[in-house]
Amino acid sequence: MEQVWQQVRPKDSLVVRTSTRIDPTFQETIAFLYQPIIGAQAFSLWMTFRTEIPAELFESDLFLHAEILNRMDIGIPQFYQARLKLEGIGLLKTFGKKKNEEREFVYELQKPMAPEAFFRDEVLSLSLLEIIGQERFKRLINRFKQPQFEQTDFEDLTHKFVDVYSFRPEKMKAYEKELSKANQLFPPVTPSKLALDSEETFDWAFFLSLINGGFIDKQDLEERLKKSILMYHHLYGINELEMQQFVEDAADSFTQKINEKTLRQSIYIKYHKKEKQKKNYVSENPHIESNEQGTYRKNSLKLEGFSNQEIEVIVSSETIAPMLFLTSIKKQKGGYVTQDERWAVENIKKYSGLPDSVINVLIHYVLVVQNNPTFNQKYADAIANSWSQASVYSPEASMKKVKEMVNVSKEKAKNPKQSTYQKKYTNAASTRKETLPDWATQEQNIEETPMSAEQLAYFKERMNKIKPQERGDK
């Protein structure tokens, strides 16, 4: 806390400025693409700074930080953390000077990336994807992508400047001073890019020395994938030895080239299998709104059509390791984890390539939705195999698969039809009659009953408010 107060105080003065006019489209870009990453408070700070600059001007009057704090109803720690988020993502530059005991700051708003540049930036687009999920990410791409003009049957009839206007280059010398002055007064403005400085922490020369040159084309690796590799290092903290393993696993032995999609996918899966579990145990900075991204995550899931119970399962699946998830469900059902169940979970985790969160949704489906007493390995393997082949790598995607399976089961229950095999077998055996015991001829109507209030309360306590859903619940 003391360190934050040393950085900025309510009585310190400030000026907000911008080096370019604030286009109305900037707000839409920041609201849809940047806000999920920076959080609501940082977005609010950017908008507050924006309103301080009068229309048609580039700079605000001098005023105190206390005014900003009062308008946003926040303290210095929250203001400072929001400011850092804006600086880190390239939306704000901060300048300061100190004279005696007085300090003055200049906050310069930066132009956000255009949507097409944002989605081409792997750091920003991946950060956004991990927060909002695949479905919302696809919708944002569709919202911002520009329709392509098919020129196949058209001829370009556009005229050039010199074809329409008379221009004499020799006149430039007569106005050279005025043109030079104008050029200096209007320097080019480009969106600020993220400064990763990855090469300072990743020894590229050492990394290349680890790569087997007879197996992998090093020149292709450097020319085509160096930027991506440094980006993965920056995002996930992957060192040179770990990156070597990822690269070699993604190499094609015939072409000696790296499959970039395979490389990206393997890193993404391992990150979700390993790093996502740390969220439960990492101590958050008390001055940061710790629930900001969690609230946004839940709201995004609601917009995708998930119920509150489904959202609780999805969110819980991202914070609990599969074995703990399995143990908690078995305990709340009054059972215990068998050795076969342990092997089943370990094998799926080892061979399927599915993230922990997806495995947890699978466990929930088998034990809670289907109300099976045990986590059967053959049954679970069949589902895990199907999801792996369908590239189901997020809990929301797996939850949609669960809802599809539940709907299929309900339809089959409504419209029972004999299979072709059953019909042939029945016809073939029509001349043969066997007597069955009464219990075998009785219709078995097995209903999956909801859990009792006591079981539900116990489950909530054990699994951070996870609510099991009844079969067929949407």
In three state form, how does the secondary structure of 105-139 look? EEEEECCCCCHHHHHHCHHHHHHHHHHHCHHHHHH
- The model's confidence at residue 383, banded by pLDDT at 50, 70 and 90, is very high
- Which of the residue ranges 85-89, 198-202, 401-405 would you say has the lowest mean pLDDT? 198-202
- Which of the residue ranges 87-91, 113-117, 284-288, 415-419 would you say has the lowest mean pLDDT? 284-288
| Separation between Cα atoms, residue 87 and residue 109, nearest integer Å | 9
- The model's confidence at residue 56, banded by pLDDT at 50, 70 and 90, is confident
120-135 pLDDT per residue, tens: 887 788 888 878 888 8
- The model's confidence at residue 200, banded by pLDDT at 50, 70 and 90, is low
- Mean pLDDT over all residues of the chain? 77
2 closest CA partner among 70, 76, 64, 67: 76
pLDDT at 371 over 80: yes
| Separation between Cα atoms, residue 364 and residue 467, nearest integer Å | 10
- Which of the residue ranges 52-61, 105-114, 309-318, 414-423 would you say has the lowest mean pLDDT? 414-423
395-414 and 134-144 helices, crossing angle to 10°: 110
Looking at residue 347, its pLDDT comes to: 83
pLDDT at 448 over 70: no
Looking at residue 360, its pLDDT comes to: 92
pLDDT at 470 over 70: no
| Separation between Cα atoms, residue 78 and residue 114, nearest integer Å | 28
pLDDT at 327 over 50: yes
pLDDT at 458 over 90: no
Chain centre to alpha carbon of residue 9: 35
When pLDDT is averaged across residues 8-13 and rounded to a whole number, the result is 88
pLDDT at 346 over 60: yes
| Separation between Cα atoms, residue 108 and residue 58, nearest integer Å | 10
Percent of the chain scoring above 90 in pLDDT: 13
- The CA dihedral of 301, 303, 306, 310, to the nearest 10 degrees, is 30
Contact 278, 320 (CB under 8 A): no
pLDDT at 364 over 90: yes
When pLDDT is averaged across residues 405-430 and rounded to a whole number, the result is 64
- The model's confidence at residue 348, banded by pLDDT at 50, 70 and 90, is confident
Give whichever of 28-37, 385-394, 431-440 has the largest mean pLDDT. 28-37
Looking at residue 363, its pLDDT comes to: 94
423-446 pLDDT per residue, tens: 544 454 444 444 444 434 444 444
pLDDT greater at residue 471 or residue 113? 113
260-317 pLDDT per residue, tens: 888 887 877 776 544 444 443 333 343 334 455 667 677 778 777 888 888 888 888 8
pTM of the model: 0.48
**DSSP strand pairing (102-109 vs 13-18):** parallel
- Which of the residue ranges 68-82, 90-104, 406-420 would you say has the lowest mean pLDDT? 406-420
When pLDDT is averaged across residues 213-229 and rounded to a whole number, the result is 83
When pLDDT is averaged across residues 239-260 and rounded to a whole number, the result is 85
- Which of the residue ranges 68-77, 148-157, 372-381 would you say has the lowest mean pLDDT? 148-157
| Separation between Cα atoms, residue 395 and residue 357, nearest integer Å | 6
Give whichever of 2-16, 47-61, 206-220 has the largest mean pLDDT. 47-61
When pLDDT is averaged across residues 185-191 and rounded to a whole number, the result is 62
pLDDT at 236 over 50: yes
